[in-house]
Amino acid sequence: MSLTLADLNNKTRDEFVAALANNFEHSPWLAEHVALLRPFAGINALFAAMKAAVERAPAELRLALIKAHPDLADKTQRAAGLTAESDAEQNSAGLDRLSDAEYDEFERVNNAYRSKFGFPYVVCVRRHTRDSILRDFERRLPNDVPAEMLRSVEEICRIAALRLDQLVTAEDRLPVHGRLSTHVLDTHSGTPAAGIAIELIELSDLGLNRVVTRAVTNADGRTDQPLIGGRPVPSGKYELVFSVGDYFASRQVPLSDPPFLDRIPLRFAVSEPEGHLHVPLLVTPWSYATYRGS
Amino acid sequence: MSLTLADLNNKTRDEFVAALANNFEHSPWLAEHVALLRPFAGINALFAAMKAAVERAPAELRLALIKAHPDLADKTQRAAGLTAESDAEQNSAGLDRLSDAEYDEFERVNNAYRSKFGFPYVVCVRRHTRDSILRDFERRLPNDVPAEMLRSVEEICRIAALRLDQLVTAEDRLPVHGRLSTHVLDTHSGTPAAGIAIELIELSDLGLNRVVTRAVTNADGRTDQPLIGGRPVPSGKYELVFSVGDYFASRQVPLSDPPFLDRIPLRFAVSEPEGHLHVPLLVTPWSYATYRGS
Amino acid sequence: MSLTLADLNNKTRDEFVAALANNFEHSPWLAEHVALLRPFAGINALFAAMKAAVERAPAELRLALIKAHPDLADKTQRAAGLTAESDAEQNSAGLDRLSDAEYDEFERVNNAYRSKFGFPYVVCVRRHTRDSILRDFERRLPNDVPAEMLRSVEEICRIAALRLDQLVTAEDRLPVHGRLSTHVLDTHSGTPAAGIAIELIELSDLGLNRVVTRAVTNADGRTDQPLIGGRPVPSGKYELVFSVGDYFASRQVPLSDPPFLDRIPLRFAVSEPEGHLHVPLLVTPWSYATYRGS
Amino acid sequence: MSLTLADLNNKTRDEFVAALANNFEHSPWLAEHVALLRPFAGINALFAAMKAAVERAPAELRLALIKAHPDLADKTQRAAGLTAESDAEQNSAGLDRLSDAEYDEFERVNNAYRSKFGFPYVVCVRRHTRDSILRDFERRLPNDVPAEMLRSVEEICRIAALRLDQLVTAEDRLPVHGRLSTHVLDTHSGTPAAGIAIELIELSDLGLNRVVTRAVTNADGRTDQPLIGGRPVPSGKYELVFSVGDYFASRQVPLSDPPFLDRIPLRFAVSEPEGHLHVPLLVTPWSYATYRGS
């Protein structure tokens, strides 16, 4: 159940701290700090205050904040219990459904990172696929401790912004939502293509591919909802598959047997989780085109 | 080693029959029949004579010809020995490398067909992928015996034409060669795309996908040889994968990270094994298009 | 100055009739008729009442209504004075700026029609270009009198709907507005193309082409306003010209000299004046594509 | 009537000089010079010898060679008589069919150039359209005398290469031929588009546009001959117009009325007269695409 910003502004100090206690993992002191700065005119103002408090905190506190985070995909810690927030975030990237090989890979990452830096590897999981987490890790491991402390705090703030966005509704929005959408134009008949089954698959170099969502195009050739929306679009590789063979067959368009084009895959990468990415398909039974739209 | 048509015209009757004994499986009587009609002006004339002899033969002989063919992918028969021709043909479709599940499926097909018709299921394997053989079978099983005798003879003639094409060179060609080709246009720079790695994969609903060939585009954006040429293009589903991410990166074109487009798959079906199918790619780092060309 | 529907509902009968007197050309009797049916819940209800009144009127009244309309592009009648509505409508299609040859052509049309049917050729000019008016005339001239009476009344109702739409604002809208829009995607850089100068030209087989509007694409690659909107898109042939040479040159993209593509024309026809027609351009310095979107 | 290189090698010295007297305008001394170097192994060797002779000639001779050329489009000189070669070349760019405004423009150019440099403006007309000649002039006028002497000799050698190519056949070819070709793919039916009427128009900023050639696509969607071939493709702006409306109508494809696409113009520039430029059209009744191919 969602709180409003007005609710937060009007709560007692203790209620306010309780509500935001885990906005930064196991760190109610941040909520205590900003409780005094109420009322906030908007959710961006509230978040900016929390972010400023983190960035101005003494190094020991920032280190403690980093250390308050669990390891990624760590079975022992999960068995012992995570915050509800951490649990949901890790599940969002499928970290609760890893193959044994993947678990081993994440364990390797966690250990390598922790043994070098003395604190856990923290990343805003909701902005990533499993593959891009491992890619992020490979890039960050060569850094030095100060660089990784800065980077960890940055990731913690991203985590906090997403938690706040889910917890509190306000008139303004935090800029944490990306969007992935598509559009199918039937250039054989010159109309939007309605009734095309679409599958969005997250591709993995590491383990198995995973269907993210399925949809069917509406009368405007679009999906009623964005393929991904209201949240970041996790960095990574995807495939959109369009069942155009069935579509043209159902319209009695003459086709070869088997149809030249049946299930068309568009394979692309997402690099800006908060961006708006539009991947349309222009299609006849004998040709197609796509492009990065916006 | 290839014979010329002139060689064949000049051989003794016995030599001629020996050379063509297995052009129709285990059926030297056909070679005997046409030996008398020499000399042939061309390979098409020779083939037409053999085909006419089959079609005019009494039903018992035609039935014997059909029965002279081995079952597809039958381990026992293969262990006992096939004609060299049958062996090579079955290997061309990978029938010597089936998974256990696939062997079981082919055994089911053979048994179902043989028990209904009383003769083996004959198909010109070189014109098919494993999937399309099973599809062909499903379509033919509901037929009646006379229809399947006609159809089997048709397939036998296709097999014979391909064997003759491989055995004999002449000034004319039998119309048994298809072609699959591609072309990559870099519409970012307005030039043919040279140095793009391409993989042609045969897709299977049944078992594993299989790399048919790998190539790299030349200065004209084409491959030096057709992806498939000098033989039928087996009916079935394929994927062409173009490594465009590496190409644009090597040209210092600004890309997102990871690149929006990296390995582009074009998935399509072949329905005319003797046709010329051209599947080009028009590509920038942010868009691409393809179409069935000729 | 625009009236609201509420104003119309609240006026005295005489004021109401005065306001709508020329909604049907020189025919206040229609306004008188519907005045009694007030209040109207919406503008569609008001229009439906007027349309029903026309359609149920005796044949003599309908004939008088048709005859109340002026000839198209008739210099004598224009000199003598048209209703303000007719005047503006004829000007919208450029009928006040015809060449001598065009005047002659329209005079021929008017005379031919009037001499066959005994009443003027009536067409809803705002839905047409000059060329499509002449095309419409050629199609209608072979009709018989009853067919043309029906058709004239249909055109008169279209004229009236547009007049009513311009005169009265209400919460609902009459379905008389089409839209022509465009969008330029720079597939060289993978972004919307901002700052591209666009010209929309009405093409004429008969006389001179005419620039309808000029615009420059915004940051989203679109124009701030539709190229045509808030009114029917006149049937006819158009050319959209995009100055892509200047655009790519200003972005320091390497080009040939002169640039391979400079001013790209897209030539297309509008056949549904009330439809939404979207004509996008996907462009690099070396390639482009367009399609009918919606 | 074409000479062979063997003929030239075997002629007497006087015959040889007579044959090549005007290969460099009014300058038989060049032919005399290279006559001694016979036999030539190929036409490229012959041309290289003549070019070397020009480049090594004393400045006075080179100046005389430049001055031996007529002004472009000069009525008085044309009335007095040009070499047959100059006459044909000037006609190729339509310099014998200029409007009065164009004559005035060329006269201005000639006079401005001659008064600055003291010799006529020389350009290889066959590589240019009228517009690109004027553009070339504007670029060269700011040069100094030595630069323009070099440039004039370069143009004279281009003229000579084209004259030699027309006069003499050999086993090798001079690299003076460009090519402009097209190809129409009907992506509505997945086949080459046969029977499409095509018009190639040379566009002029200065005067009137000019139809260069008309053709109809064959069964392969191509034209039997290149649109321009066997000669340089003159630098300049062109429009290719494809009558796709008639094509789709004749195939009973459902179209809007008037058809959304009827006569599609592709407007592009040629910048490399000796290059191979391929401008294909991929088209449905509702979409099309083009790109610079090769």
How many other C-beta atoms lie within 10 A of the C-beta of residue B108? 12
Query: What percentage of chain D exceeds 90 in pLDDT?
Result: 79
A191–C294 CB contact, under 8 Å: yes
State how far the alpha carbon of A180 is from the alpha carbons of A225, A231, A272, B211, in Å: 10, 10, 11, 32
Return the closest-CA partner of residue C132 out of C228, C238, C230: C238
Contacts of A44 (CB under 8 A, 6+ apart): A172, A174
Asked if pLDDT for residue A73 goes beyond 90, the answer is: no
Shortest distance, CA B269 to any CA of chain C (angstroms): 25
Which residues in chain C are closer than 8 Å to A187, comparing Cβ atoms? 291-292
Which residues in chain D are closer than 8 Å to C264, comparing Cβ atoms? 267
Asked if pLDDT for residue A1 goes beyond 70, the answer is: no
**Residue C290 is which amino acid?**
T
For the segment D77-99, the average pLDDT, to the nearest whole number, is 77
Average pLDDT, chain D: 92
C258–D237 CB contact, under 8 Å: yes
Contacts of C251 (CB under 8 A, 6+ apart): C189
Interatomic CA distance for residues D166 and D170, integer angstroms: 11
Instruction: Please provide the distance, in angstroms rounded to a whole number, between the alpha carbons at the two ends of chain B.
Output: 32
Q: Give the B-side interface with D, CB within 8 Å.
A: 185, 187, 190-192, 220-221, 282, 289, 291-294
Asked if pLDDT for residue B185 goes beyond 70, the answer is: yes
Contacts of D207 (CB under 8 A, 6+ apart): D98, D99, D101, D102, D130
Q: According to the model, what pLDDT value does residue C74 have?
A: 75
Domains of chain A: 3-169 (1.10.3330.10), 178-289 (2.60.40.180)
Better-predicted residue by pLDDT, C78 or D171: D171
Asked if pLDDT for residue C234 goes beyond 90, the answer is: yes
Give the confidence band of A264 by pLDDT, cuts at 50, 70, 90: very high
Asked if pLDDT for residue D275 goes beyond 80, the answer is: yes
Asked if pLDDT for residue C103 goes beyond 60, the answer is: yes
For the segment C126-137, the average pLDDT, to the nearest whole number, is 92
Residue pLDDT, tens place only, D204-223: 887 688 899 999 999 999 99
Residue pLDDT, tens place only, A147-203: 999 999 999 999 999 999 999 999 999 999 999 999 999 999 999 999 999 999 999
Total-model pTM: 0.93
Do residues D215 and D224 touch, judged by C-beta distance below 8 A?
Answer: yes
Interatomic CA distance for residues B30 and B21, integer angstroms: 8
Do residues A23 and A160 touch, judged by C-beta distance below 8 A?
Answer: yes
A289–B288 CB contact, under 8 Å: yes
Residue pLDDT, tens place only, B119-156: 999 999 999 998 999 999 999 999 999 999 999 999 99
Shortest distance, CA C189 to any CA of chain A (angstroms): 10
Q: According to the model, what pLDDT value does residue B199 have?
A: 98
Shortest distance, CA C203 to any CA of chain D (angstroms): 12
Q: How open is the CA angle C280-C281-C286, to the nearest 5 degrees?
A: 170
Q: Write out the DSSP string of chain A.
A: -PEEHHHHHHS-HHHHHHHHTTTSTT-HHHHHHHHTTPPPSSHHHHHHHHHHHHHHS-HHHHHHHHHTSPPTT-HHHHHH---HHHHHHHHHTTTTS--HHHHHHHHHHHHHHHHHHSS-----GGGB-HHHHHHHHHHHTTS-HHHHHHHHHHHHHHHHHHHHHHHEE-SS--S--EEEE--EEETTTTEE--S-EEEEEEE-SSS--EEEEEEE--TTSS-SS-SEEEE---BEEEEEEEEHHHHHHHTT----SS-S-SEEEEEEEE--TTSEEE--EEEETTEEEEE-B-
Which residues in chain C are closer than 8 Å to A289, comparing Cβ atoms? 282, 289
Do residues C121 and C72 touch, judged by C-beta distance below 8 A?
Answer: yes
Q: Write out the DSSP string of D153-221.
A: HHHHHHHHHHHHHHHEE-SS--S--EEEE--EEETTTTEE--S-EEEEEEE-SSS--EEEEEEE--TTS
Q: Give the C-side interface with D, CB within 8 Å.
A: 135, 235-237, 256-265, 267-269, 271-272, 282, 286-292
Q: Which of C268, C272, C277, C281 to mutate to test the interface with D (most CBs of D within 10 A)?
A: C268
Asked if pLDDT for residue C25 goes beyond 90, the answer is: no
Please report all neighbours of A, defined by 3+ CB atom pairs within 8 A.
B, C, D
Answer positive or negative: Cα dihedral of D189, D193, D197, D198: positive
- Point out the residue among C263, C265, C287 whose CB comes nearest to the CB of D292: C287
| Structure token digits, residue A149 | 């402390």
Do residues B196 and B251 touch, judged by C-beta distance below 8 A?
Answer: no
Which residues in chain D are closer than 8 Å to B185, comparing Cβ atoms? 291, 293
| Structure token digits, residue A118 | 């003395």
Return the closest-CA partner of residue B170 out of B48, B87, B272, B85: B48
Better-predicted residue by pLDDT, C130 or B183: B183
Interatomic CA distance for residues A159 and A165, integer angstroms: 10
Interatomic CA distance for residues D57 and D66, integer angstroms: 12
- Is this prediction's ipTM beyond 0.85? yes
Q: According to the model, what pLDDT value does residue D176 have?
A: 96
Interatomic CA distance for residues B57 and C188, integer angstroms: 65
- Point out the residue among C185, C293, C294 whose CB comes nearest to the CB of A291: C185
B190–D292 CB contact, under 8 Å: yes
Interhelix angle B43-56/B28-35, nearest 10 degrees: 120
Q: According to the model, what pLDDT value does residue B43 have?
A: 97
Residue of D nearest to C294 (CA): D286
Interatomic CA distance for residues A143 and A115, integer angstroms: 13
Asked if pLDDT for residue C1 goes beyond 70, the answer is: no
Strands D287-291 and D281-284: antiparallel
Interatomic CA distance for residues C73 and B36, integer angstroms: 88
Residue of C nearest to A190 (CA): C292
Residue pLDDT, tens place only, B232-262: 999 999 999 999 999 999 999 999 999 999 9
Q: According to the model, what pLDDT value does residue D1 have?
A: 52
Q: Which of C244, C290, C294 to mutate to test the interface with D (most CBs of D within 10 A)?
A: C290
Interatomic CA distance for residues D15 and D36, integer angstroms: 13
Which residues in chain D are closer than 8 Å to C237, comparing Cβ atoms? 258, 262
Q: According to the model, what pLDDT value does residue C77 have?
A: 73
Please report all neighbours of C, defined by 3+ CB atom pairs within 8 A.
A, B, D
For the segment A253-262, the average pLDDT, to the nearest whole number, is 96
Give the confidence band of C100 by pLDDT, cuts at 50, 70, 90: confident
Quote the DSSP letter at residue C128.
B
For the segment D95-117, the average pLDDT, to the nearest whole number, is 86
Shortest distance, CA B266 to any CA of chain C (angstroms): 19
Quote the DSSP letter at residue D293.
B
| Structure token digits, residue B106 | 């082919």
- Point out the residue among C189, C256, C287 whose CB comes nearest to the CB of B187: C287
Interatomic CA distance for residues A210 and D182, integer angstroms: 44
Asked if pLDDT for residue B273 goes beyond 80, the answer is: yes
**Residue C266 is which amino acid?**
L
Quote the DSSP letter at residue B37.
T
How many other C-beta atoms lie within 10 A of the C-beta of residue D70? 21
How many other C-beta atoms lie within 10 A of the C-beta of residue D252? 7
Residue of A nearest to C189 (CA): A292
How many other C-beta atoms lie within 10 A of the C-beta of residue C34? 22
Average pLDDT, chain B: 92
What are D138-146's contacts with CB under 8 Å, separation 24+? D140/D113, D141/D112, D141/D113, D141/D116, D145/D117, D145/D118
Q: According to the model, what pLDDT value does residue C83 have?
A: 80
How many other C-beta atoms lie within 10 A of the C-beta of residue B56? 10
Give the confidence band of A2 by pLDDT, cuts at 50, 70, 90: confident
Q: According to the model, what pLDDT value does residue D207 have?
A: 66
Q: Give the A-side interface with C, CB within 8 Å.
A: 185, 187, 190-192, 220-221, 282, 289, 291-294
**Residue C143 is which amino acid?**
N
**Residue D244 is which amino acid?**
V
D294–B187 CB contact, under 8 Å: no
Interatomic CA distance for residues C39 and C9, integer angstroms: 5
Which residues in chain D are closer than 8 Å to A287, comparing Cβ atoms? 187, 190, 282
Q: State the residue for tokens 């015959």.
A: D15
Query: What percentage of chain D exceeds 70 in pLDDT?
Result: 98
For the segment C235-254, the average pLDDT, to the nearest whole number, is 97
Residue pLDDT, tens place only, D13-63: 999 999 998 889 888 999 999 999 999 999 999 999 999 999 999 999 999
State how far the alpha carbon of B288 is from the alpha carbons of A188, A287, C279, in Å: 18, 11, 19
**Residue C96 is which amino acid?**
D
Asked if pLDDT for residue C207 goes beyond 70, the answer is: no
Q: State the residue for tokens 């009916």.
A: B235
